[in-house]
Structure 1
Amino acid sequence: MKTKSISDKNKLPNGFKVNPDRQNKYEDQPLFKDKVEKANLIIKKVGLPKN
């Protein structure tokens, strides 16, 4: 999972700031792995909805 770069155009709301020490902390960890696997299984069985 790649982190988004913070641009000057999108300012954070007052009272929020980005901690640069934690910016890439979760990059290599598979977060929500079980939910992604379940969703992929459902997509394989049922398929994507047609618009």
Structure 2
Amino acid sequence: ADELSGLRTGSIYTCHNTGRKGYETMKDILGDRLQYLRAGEELNF
């Protein structure tokens, strides 16, 4: 998460593989930039 926070990017998506503790740790560092992608959700670019 520390390395990701230094990237010049918008949202960062994670999913169930990250695990709850990992997600919470990353959320503390990345704040609103971190988004959780659930099964069946779609991203449109």
Alignment TM class, shorter chain as reference = under 0.3
Q: TM-score of the superposition, structure 2-length normalised? A: 0.27
- The structure in which a higher percent of residues are helix is 2
Larger Rg: 1
Q: TM-score of the superposition, structure 1-length normalised? A: 0.25
